[in-house]
């Protein structure tokens, strides 16, 4: 037998399948990184939107109080007939 050469003792060359598989795995990893970046961006946008919504809570409470006051029936400031007012004389 001939002595082993460097090419036979080192790792054999990758097959077409292995080369394509590694390329696809790398492409998938890059795509996952992009998805992760996009999800982080979406999360920051949603947090900002929630913060803006929280800022309007106080304004909404004020408008609710205003609506409650405006929908109450108007009370007369005149004293009733049995309270000893001018009509009782």
- Indicate the pTM of the whole model: 0.50
Whether pLDDT at 17 is above 90: yes
Q: What is the mean pLDDT of the chain?
A: 83
Mean pLDDT to the nearest integer, 24-41: 98
Mean pLDDT to the nearest integer, 17-42: 98
Distances (CA, A) of 33 to 29, 30, 55: 6, 5, 33
Whether pLDDT at 57 is above 80: yes
Can you point out the beta strands (E) in the chain? none
Distances (CA, A) of 85 to 5, 59, 74: 123, 43, 21
**Integer Cα distance of 87 and 89 in angstroms:** 6
């Amino acid at each position: 037998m001939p002595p082993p050469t460097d090419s036979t003792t080192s790792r054999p060359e990758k097959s077409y399948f292995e080369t394509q598989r590694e390329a696809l795995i790398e492409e998938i990893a890059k795509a996952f990184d992009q998805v992760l970046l996009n999800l982080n961006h979406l999360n920051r946008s949603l947090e900002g939107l929630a913060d803006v919504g929280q800022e309007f809570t106080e304004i909404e409470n004020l408008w609710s109080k205003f609506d409650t006051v405006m929908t109450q029936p108007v009370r007369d400031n005149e004293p009733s007939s049995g309270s000893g007012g001018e009509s009782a004389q």
